[in-house]
Amino acid sequence: MTDAPPGGLRPLALYVHWPYCARVCPYCDFNVVRDRGRRQEQAQLASAIVADIAAHARLTGPMRLTSIFFGGGTPSLMAPVWAAEIIAAARAAWTSDEALEISLEANPTDAEAGRFAGLRAAGVQRLSLGVQALDDASLSFLGRNHGADEAIRAARLAAALFPRLSLDLIYALPGQTPEAWTETLARAADELGPEHLSAYQLTIEPGTAFHRAVGRGRFTPVDAELAAQLYEATQAVLERRGFDAYEVSNHARGAGARSRHNLAYWRGWAYAGVGPGAHGRLDLDGGRTATAAAPGIADYLAAVERTGLGWGGAGEVLTSQAVAEERLMMGLRTEEGAPWSALAALSLTPSHPRVQALAEAGLVAPGAEALRATRAGRLVLNAVLERLMV
Ligand SMILES: C[S@@+](CC[C@H](N)C(=O)[O-])C[C@H]1O[C@@H](n2cnc3c(N)ncnc32)[C@H](O)[C@@H]1O
Ligand code: SF4
C-alpha cells in the first residue's frame, strides 16, 4: 500500500501538536490558541500527549520511530521538562531508529531563546525557527511579536546550540520586490547558518485577520505574475548557495539536511499525530486509516481520558483511490515525485494520455520509476493535480 523501505520494522513518524502562541498572527490558520499562562492546563495537556502516545503504540504494535516533530502553535513555549517527557514516552513506545530526528518549531523572541538550551538538553536536535522576515517593517506587517534584531539573535544562538537549524521565511508580502526578497533570502542563507530553509508564499486563508483586511480593501495580495517571479528568485538565490529545492517550499544544503519528518509525509509513510487537532495516517488491520484528534484542548483532554487516544479510536479507513490521490498530491510536491507503483488505483502510467499531455506542456516529467512535476509544474501544482485526478 505504501512504498516504505523493505526489511525490519515498519517506519513511523510522530507529530506532536502544541497549540499555544504568545500572540496569534493575522495570517495564520493553524490550530492555535493564545497562551494565557494556564500552566495547569498545559501540564495536563503534556500528560495527555504522553498517554496518547502509549495508546498509539498499543494500536500499532512494534514500529521503527524515524522522527518526532513538535509543531504548533509554538512548542518553544513548552517547558523543556515536558518536551523531555514526551520524547521519553515516544522512545519507550517504539524502537528508535539510529538516525531518529527530533525537530521543534520555535519563535525567535528573547524569552523563547532563553529556553533553547533546555530544549536541546531535552533531546531536540533540529530547530525550525520562524524568523519570517529580516526587516522590522515586514515583521510589523506580519503582526509578529519580535523585531529583526531579536530574530537574528535567536537564529545565531540556535545555530550554536542545535546540530541542525532550519529557518522559515514568508514572501510575497504586498509591495515586496524580487530585489528586496532576494536580499532577505541571501542574508538568511549567508549570515545565519541554516542547513535548511522553508520559503512560504504568503497565502490569505479564510477566517484570518488578513482575509478580513483584504475583504475591506486594506491591502491587495501580490498577483500571480509577481508571485511567480518571487518563486523563481527563491530557486535561483538558494541554488547558487548550494541548497536544493527538494520540495515546493523547502530547500536543503545536501541530502542529509532534508527534513526526514516531512519526507515521511511526502513519501506516504505512516505517521501518528498527537495533541489537539493533530492528524495521522496509520496502517491498521482495516487498511490505511486517517486519524484526526479533537481540535479543542478540553475536547482533546476528554477524548484521551475516555479512550486513551486523542482521536477517540474512530478513524476513517481510506479507499485505495484516496490513498493513491494523497500519494500523488504529496509526491508531486517533491523532487522525488510519486512512484508509479503507488498510482495504480488512479490508472496513471507513463503512456496515459493525461500524463502525456502534461509532459508535452512541460509540467510533468514521467520517469521510469516515478512521475515528477517539473519546476514549471510545481508552480501550478493545483492545476496539474486537477488534470491528473479527474
Ligand atoms: C505552524 S507555523 C509554526 C511556527 C512558529 N509558531 C512561528 O510562527 O514561527 C509554521 C510556519 O508556517 C508558515 N505560515 C503560517 N501561515 C502562513 C500563511 N498564511 N502563509 C504563508 N506561510 C504561513 C510560517 O512561516 C510559519 O513559520
Ligand atoms: S505563525 Fe506561528 S506564532 Fe503565529 S499564530 Fe501561527 S503558529 Fe502561532
Closest ligand to residue 205's CA? 1
Cα–Cα distance measured from residue 312 to residue 272, given in angstroms and rounded to the nearest whole number: 14
Predicted TM-score (pTM) of this structure? 0.96
200 lines ligand 2 (CB under 6 A): no
Q: Which amino acid is at 45?
A: L
Nearest CA to ligand 2 atom 6: 28
Residue of 20, 27, 31, 32 to test ligand 2 pocket, by largest number of atoms within 8 Å of CB: 32
Atom of ligand 2 nearest to the CA of 21: 8
CA–CA distance, 142 with 16 (Å, rounded to integer) = 25
Question: How close is the Cα of 349 to the center of ligand 1, in Å?
Answer: 36
Give the residue among 2, 123, 13 at the shortest CA–CA distance from 63: 13
Q: What is the DSSP string of 103-172?
A: EEEE---HHHHTTHHHHHHTT--EEEEEEE-SSHHHHHHTT-SS-HHHHHHHHHHHHHH-SEEEEEEEE-
Ligand 1 pocket test target in 116, 129, 166, 168 with most atoms within 8 Å of CB: 168
Which residue has the CA at smallest separation from atom 4 of ligand 2? Answer: 25
Concatenate the DSSP letters of all residues of 63-107 into one string: -EEEEEEEEES-GGGS-HHHHHHHHHHHHHHSEEEEEEEEEEEE-
> Closest-lying ligand to the alpha carbon of 70?
1
Buried b (16+ CB within 10 A) or exposed e, 269-284: bbbbbbbbbbebbbbe
Rounded distance from Cα 26 to ligand 2 centre (Å): 9
User: From the CA of 21, how far away is ligand 2's center (Å)?
Assistant: 6
Q: For ligand 2, is residue 25 a contact (CB within 6 Å)? A: yes
Protein residue whose Cα sits closest to atom 14 of ligand 1: 28
- Is residue 338 classed exposed, middle or buried when 0-12, 13-18 and 19+ CB atoms within 10 A define those classes? buried
Question: Which ligand is nearest the CA of 221, by number?
Answer: 1
CB 33 within 8 A of CB 152: no
What CA–CA distance (Å, rounded) separates 20 from 22?
7
Which ligand ends up closest to the CA of 151? 1
Q: E-strand spans in the chain?
A: 11-18, 20-21, 33-34, 64-72, 95-106, 126-132, 164-171, 196-201, 244-247, 250-252, 271-274, 279-284, 287-292, 316-317, 338-339, 364-366, 370-373
pLDDT at 390: 78
**Does 108 contact ligand 2 (Cβ within 6 A)?**
no
The answer to whether the CB of 107 is under 6 A from ligand 2 is yes
Query: pLDDT per residue over 33-57, tens digit each?
Result: 999 989 999 999 999 999 999 999 9
Residue with cell 475536547: 299
| CA atoms lying within 13 Å on the CB side of residue 225 | 0
- How many CA atoms lie less than 13 Å away from 137 in the CB half-sphere? 6
DSSP 8-state code for residue 8:
S
CA of 10 to the centre of ligand 2 (A): 33
Alpha-carbon distance of 135 to 138, in angstroms, equals 6
From 74, 128, 144, mutation site for ligand 2 pocket: most ligand atoms within 8 A of C-beta = 74
Cα of 73 from ligand 2 centre, angstroms = 5
Query: Which stretches of the chain score pLDDT less than 50?
Result: 1-3
Using CA atoms, how far apart are residues 277 and 73, in angstroms rounded to an integer?
11
Domains and CATH numbers, the chain: 11-265 (3.20.20.70), 331-388 (no CATH)
State phi, psi for 102 to the nearest 5 degrees: -125, 110
Q: Is 154 in the pocket of ligand 2 (CB under 6 A)?
A: no
**How far is the centre of ligand 1, averaged over its atoms, from the C-alpha of 173 (Å)?**
14
Separation between Cα atoms, residue 13 and residue 102, nearest integer Å: 10
Taking the CA of 132 as reference, the closest ligand is 1
Ligand at minimal distance from the CA of 75 is 1
For residues 365 and 332, is the Cβ–Cβ distance under 8 A? no
Around ligand 1, the residues with Cβ closer than 6 Å are 27-28, 30, 71-72, 74, 105, 107, 130, 132, 168, 170, 200, 202-203, 205
